[in-house]
A and B are shown apart, each in its own frame.
Chain A
Amino acid sequence: MSQSLDAYLILSGLLFAIGTFGFLARRNAIAMLMSIELMLNAVNLSIVAFGAFVPSLAGDGALIALFVMAVAAAEATVGLAIVIAIYRNKRTPLVDEYASMRE
């Protein structure tokens, strides 16, 4: 375990950037959901790191990370349900085809 907070934050930032790129670049709805998971976990990593290195937080970081996991699970459930529902209609997982809400 590295003794530097910076290393964790850099890793977290990299993971978040990859997640963002994935969300913006991938056309597959499932892949986009996975990208969201990646971003959420990047955030989790930074929270846990802060919890370990900042004395005033005194380990609360882990607790918050648990909450984020719970919310992420719920979000993934709803997200998947939506994607399945749309898929049944459109017969495609590609979000390019989901543009019926345009002006």
Chain B
Amino acid sequence: MPFFTAAPEAVPGAVSATDQALVLSLIVLPLIGFGLTALIGRRLGGRAWIIAVAAIVLTWLAAMVLVYQTLFVGAFGEAGLHVLVYEWIPAGAFTVDIAFGVDALTAVMLIVVATVGMLVHIYSIGYMAHDPGRWRFFAYLNLFMFSMLLLVLADNFLLLFVAWELVGLCSYLLVGFWYRRRSAALAAKKAFLVNRVGDVGFTLGIVAIWTTVGTLDFGQVFQLLPEALATGAIEQWHMIGICLLLFAGAMGKSAQFPLHVWLPDAMEGPTPVSALIHAATMVNAGVYLVARSNPLFAQAPEALVVVAAVGIFTAIMAASIAFTQTDIKRVLAYSTLSQLGYMFAALGVGAFIPAIFHLLTHGFFKGLLFLGSGSVIHAVHDEQDMDRMGGLRKRIAITHLTMLVGSLAIAGIPPLAGFFSKDEILAESFKLGFAWVWFIGIVVALMTGFYMFRLMGKTFYGPSHVDPEVEPRIHESPRSMTVPLVVLAVASAVVGLALGFPFENGILHGWLEPVFHGAEETLGHAGGDYQLFGIDGTLLLISTGVSVAGVLLGWRFFGFLSRRPQPEAVERLTQRLRPAYAFSKGKWYFDELNDLLFVRLGGLVARALWWFDVHIIDGTVNGIANLTRSSGGGLRQIQTGHVQNYALGIAAGLLIIALGYLVVVTR
């Protein structure tokens, strides 16, 4: 077996031993960290984090070197670096390898995954310091990092799928980390089950690809499938079908309507987990999958319309729910849904680069917001209800400032990160002829500013509603928690300007252009010149104006810095919009709908099938057995044990044979 050799499609001599070692270390280091922490972590007691954090810091270093090599030096060319580790499934002409690929898209994902992953690890040192199960927590966290890195590095669909399921497993383990709490155990189960629904589609999609082109290697699939379509070997609807099946998997993992119900419940997990898995990395896997499969989606514009519609609908639905939730983490969870919806909308309109750009910026500012909310929860002693917070601004100043940066960034206020990526998504939607996506997107931008500053206002400004017993003990979090917050705040502030300016022509576009070039060409998206004083400038002004309006509305009702909140105005508004308020507060009654459709109605069907199974299927089987037994029971009465009875039988038989013979012969 060829261990550690270059894949044949790579340029000969381009893969040096150092690069291979780098790629492998990304996978191996977290795995070692997981193994060691799982084995001896319990004995380390309060220092259970030491191995795990060290492993991830080293991983981050390796990742950054690799990112530097890929994006800044361009050492691997447009095709990227491909490392074949092991021929996993050699089955005649069909082979699946353990093979890793690093191109610009993977490198951008590595920036988010490794950086947020490392910061969350460091943050967890403080956050989990008093939890007796911390060694288990760090082991899981390392396992997650291994899985997530495997996911972005995988060079074929099957390996991607394995990693896809591994991150799902880690999500399950970490959501249910406090498994003694019934709600946490249920939430973990829900996340796992809802993801299975999407994974059915993903699995079928992979099988469809395999039966069509007989390979699962990314490079070959992305070349052979469009070729098959061009030569007429497959029809258009095959392509659309494959894309929609892959998208079904993406919908599950990235929690898009109607499979979004698991993500808000997943907030039962520890807050660092929410930040890492359910905001910055794992939920982006769906976006990554669609972006990675862009050569396929480009051939199926109808599927892309579905992607756009699902994305933008999720965006506005989740934003409307975020209006009324009072659990600080749930507001952020719905905000995550909404932002993921933006990314899918961008992918759907064919704006691949803005989608990845938003993935990157969102990873930073949403990671920041979640870690900030964790710091708030920590400060008020495990209280998550925003109605029991308020006035925390001066008490936890660093948390407040960093979260303010994050909120402004997600609201899309220039010059913070979210402004660049969100504006680009909206502008591209409009210019590529998806005015409806643009319009809904603008509405969502307004809503985003509002609900984020509702969160800020209820948490940090106005009078305190904190439990009087806890009030005097409110404290800023330890340094291990505030330092990651500050780092992420800085990143949220500058990453958009650094990578996305000048508009639609930033560094990031240069990096990702080779990855998406073919797809954009297929879709006929010729990149026109950026007109600051024409259409582009107008769109920029509109989206910025709307974002600012949203933030100002939030200030108006919920206060800002020294401005007092207006609870009476909020109450009046709530009363006037009573049904809408109830609808939003009830999360559009999706859980109730699912309960009705699948638990009750599905339960009826299941019970009917169960009846059929017990009475018809089992009845047939048992009937045959009973028939055999009772006939045997009847027949055994003949066995008297009297030899003369048997002899009589023999004689009678002989007589019958003889008589029969006579009748036949003499006739």
Contacts and interface: CB of A to CB of B under 8 A. Distances in A.
B is bound to A: yes
Interface of A: 20, 23-24, 27, 32, 95-96, 98-103
Contacts of B647: 23-24
Contacts of B526: none
B639 A102 contact: yes
Nearest to B633: A103
B596 to A, nearest CB: 59
Contact of B651 (A20, A27, A98): A20
Given A20-B651, A24-B651, A101 B641 contact: yes
A63 B549 CA distance: 126
B661 to A, nearest CB: 15
A27 B643 CA distance: 10
A85 to B, nearest CB: 15
A96 B640 CA distance: 10
Contacts of A98: 641-643
Interface of B: 636-637, 639-644, 647-648, 651
B641 to A, nearest CB: 3
Given A20-B651, A24-B651, A103 B636 contact: yes
B662 to A, nearest CB: 13
A78 to B, nearest CB: 15
A24 B651 CA distance: 9
B602 to A, nearest CB: 51
A100 to B, nearest CB: 7
Contact of A23 (B636, B637, B639, B644): B644
Contacts of A20: 651
Contacts, number: 29
A101 B640 CA distance: 8
Contacts of B651: 20, 24
A24 B640 CA distance: 15
16 contacts: A20-B651, A24-B644, A24-B648, A32-B644, A95-B642, A95-B643, A98-B641, A98-B643, A99-B641, A100-B641, A101-B641, A102-B640, A102-B642, A103-B637, A103-B639, A103-B641
B51 to A, nearest CB: 72
Contact of B641 (A24, A32, A102): A102
Contact of A99 (B637, B640, B648): B640
Nearest to B648: A24
Given A96-B642, A98-B643, A102-B640, 13 more contacts: A23-B644, A23-B647, A24-B647, A32-B644, A95-B642, A95-B644, A98-B641, A98-B642, A99-B640, A99-B641, A100-B641, A101-B641, A102-B642
Majority SS at the chain B contact face = helix
Contacts of B643: 95, 98
Contacts of B640: 99, 102
Contacts of A96: 642
Contacts of A32: 644
B631 to A, nearest CB: 14
Nearest to B638: A103
Contacts of B648: 24
Contacts of A100: 641
Nearest to A25: B644
A102 B648 CA distance: 16
Contacts of B644: 23-24, 27, 32, 95
List of 9 A-B pairs having minimum Cβ-Cβ separation, nearest first: A102-B641, A99-B641, A103-B639, A103-B636, A101-B641, A102-B640, A99-B642, A24-B648, A95-B643
B595 to A, nearest CB: 58
A14 B459 CA distance: 118
B484 to A, nearest CB: 82
A100 B644 CA distance: 14
Nearest to B654: A20
Contacts of B642: 95-96, 98-99, 102
Contacts of B637: 103
Contacts of A99: 640-642
Nearest to B644: A24
A34 B648 CA distance: 17
Nearest to A98: B643
B650 to A, nearest CB: 10
Contacts of A103: 636-637, 639, 641
A20 to B, nearest CB: 6
A53 B370 CA distance: 116
Contacts of B636: 103
A38 B640 CA distance: 26
Contacts of B639: 102-103
Nearest to A102: B641
Contacts of A101: 641
> Which interface residue of B636, B640, B642, B651 has the most chain A CB atoms within 10 A?
B642
A62 B409 CA distance: 121
A32 B643 CA distance: 11
B638 to A, nearest CB: 8
A98 to B, nearest CB: 7
A87 to B, nearest CB: 14
A101 B643 CA distance: 10
B653 to A, nearest CB: 13
A34 B189 CA distance: 83
Contacts of A27: 644
A95 B640 CA distance: 12
B340 to A, nearest CB: 74
A29 to B, nearest CB: 9
A28 to B, nearest CB: 11
A99 B648 CA distance: 15
Nearest to A21: B651
A27 B636 CA distance: 24
A99 B645 CA distance: 11
A101 B637 CA distance: 13
B45 to A, nearest CB: 72
A20 B658 CA distance: 15
A59 to B, nearest CB: 27
A86 to B, nearest CB: 11
A101 B642 CA distance: 8
Contacts of B641: 98-103
Nearest to B640: A102
A57 to B, nearest CB: 21
B633 to A, nearest CB: 10
> Which interface residue of B639, B640, B647, B648 has the most chain A CB atoms within 10 A?
B647
A84 to B, nearest CB: 16
A97 to B, nearest CB: 10
A103 B642 CA distance: 11
> Which interface residue of B636, B641, B648 has the most chain A CB atoms within 10 A?
B641
A54 B468 CA distance: 128
Nearest to B655: A20
A10 B640 CA distance: 34
